[in-house]
Chain A
Amino acid sequence: MLIVAGFFLASCAATKTEQGGDSDATSASASSSSGGEIKAGTQEDLIVNVGDRVFFEFDSSELTVDAQATLDAQAAWLMQYPDTNITVEGHADERGTREYNLALGDKRAFSVYSYLAQAGIDTNRMEYVSWGKERPEVIGSDETAYSQNRRGVTLVSN
């Protein structure tokens, strides 16, 4: 399979760009979507109507029952929009070393990726990447933050 660099549009405040930014600009290029209708087949549609992410237990890359249900819905959604490509991001909480968490994030991303592949999504439509503990969703040094940060996020990349 091929893993290609993917640009994606962050179309909702809940989703952040993971492009790193330049040295001064640290603001995400998320465009606001307040009001108006949700366009079908977009990241916003995925977030609102399907769920863009799954969560993992501490130091685990196994998909929970809840996670599998979310991914079944994602697979159905991806079937419905066959022109949609995605990047799956794997993330870890901060309570591990940088390197171990990169490995863990990759296993998490791959768990999501391969579940979707087994559900019938063409792997040519999918990429995956680990961000280890580098891009927390929630800032904070407590379990509330950690449980939100141990995640696999599906991002529409076109």
Chain B
Amino acid sequence: MIKKILIILFFSLNANAALEVTIAQGKVEPTPIAITQIFGADSDTARYGNTLRQIISNNLKNSGLFYTVNEDLYIQSENLVEKVPRFEDWKLIKAQFLLSADVSKIDKGIRLRMRLYDVFNTKEIEKLQLTIPDENLIRRVGHTVSDIVYERITGETGYFDTRIVYVSEIGPLDQRVKRLAIMDQDGHLDSHQFLTDGKNLVLTPRFAPNKQLITYMEYKNNLPRVYIYNLKTGEREIVGDFPGMTFAPRFSPDSQSVIMSFSDPNNAANSEIYLMDLNTRSRSRLTNDSGIDTSPSFSPDGEKIVFNSDRGGSPQLFIMDKSGNNIKRISKGRGVYGNPVWSPRGDLIAFTKLTQGNFHIGVMDVNGNNERVIVRDFALESPAWSPNGRYLIFHRQKRSNLDGTGGEVTIHFIDITGYNERVIPTPRDGSDPAWSPLL
């Protein structure tokens, strides 16, 4: 079902961290980088080179932290993998960094060699070689190189060699057909795959942090239950097979458990939060309140859980220990809160808030302080973190009309500073996006 594991013969000469760009809160001035043609000796390798260059250039530009210097300005046009660049030529066109690479066929597949130069300091800062067995992994090579460039220059962990699982939507709004789908983080059509056939309604997919698994909710035989989809085998397995609805699943940070909501018929179908151990299949109940408790999300250290509850009247955000003890409300503002998601860095919680007729996606400290809104619109939902904790993806839905028009729903990417929002393209409408860990 999924791509083969990237085989990388990897050598890097530069182990020292070159932190050249300081990323702070607020708008960042993009760093100019020049990317030479990625050279190939024959038509195949030249084609791979073009593809790679496009992937790398798009990735870096989409991060909001880079812009690529217009190629028409380049003075030096040679392959700079084995040749030292004329740094003054690149300084002249204000390229702060310079990437050059070439692709060649070798006995066991395809080899890419790349060099990254710091133009202003006139030195090489990265040198590496990647080998893949066949061209099916070209896109992953592009993402991997993008990650290396991003990491060398910003000092932050990259996020390009990752995927997004989401719900593909089509059809009338009252009879929507929804399918699980997966794609590279850039949404490139070549990487897009449907995982389910649309026969059953599916909702809220989420990746396991360190396994090739997705947990989600499916209406099989009209019974809404939590399932796990195995990306290696394509198999689906029910994990919330309780005598009532199970929903809102997420993995624990060690991928050994799934935390979810269960509406027990013996508890007036009131939603409580349960933890299911995937090895023993034993479940433990964490909340016990007459209000709705749902949308649980673990802290990355696995010690705490943030969740959504209307126990105080309107839906708000609460934190509890992993045992279910020490429940504290953290949302402080006015409005209806939901969808809390703990940042992979551990420092922030993303959420949605409905107030004054609009949805907001925001972040707050884990104690509820310093709430700030990142984006506001009529209908926003399902914030999900990039694995490096710097970006969010979410979906945005337009108003619908009585005649059945409107209601288009799209997946968006945004820097948590609130800058650099863009649509992640999907072949049909898309909702409920979730981000994989770094592959």
Contacts and interface: CB of A to CB of B under 8 A. Distances in A.
B292 A103 contact: yes
A156 interface: no
Contacts of A21: 171, 175, 177, 198-199
A129 B222 CA distance: 8
Interface residues on A, range: 35 or more
Given A99-B261, A99-B339, A109-B269, A140 B401 contact: yes
B200 A26 contact: no
Contact of B173 (A16, A95, A99, A139): A139
Contacts of B403: 139
Nearest to A25: B177
A110 B265 contact: yes
Contact of B308 (A59, A99, A110): A99
A65 interface: no
Contacts of A51: none
Interface residues on B, range: 35 or more
B221 A134 contact: no
A79 interface: no
Interface string B183-221: 000000000000001111101100000000000010101
A22 B170 CA distance: 11
Contacts, number: 155
A97 B338 contact: yes
B198 A23 contact: yes
Q: Is the interface of A mostly helix, strand, loop or mixed?
A: loop
Contact of B402 (A1, A114, A140): A140
Nearest to B295: A99
Contacts of A98: 203-204, 381-382, 432
9 contacts: A16-B175, A22-B198, A59-B315, A97-B295, A98-B204, A99-B295, A100-B310, A139-B403, A140-B400
Interface of B: 170-177, 179, 197-201, 203-204, 217, 219, 221-224, 243-245, 247-248, 261, 263, 265, 268-271, 292, 294-295, 308, 310, 314-315, 336, 338-339, 352, 354, 378-379, 381-382, 399-404, 406-407, 432
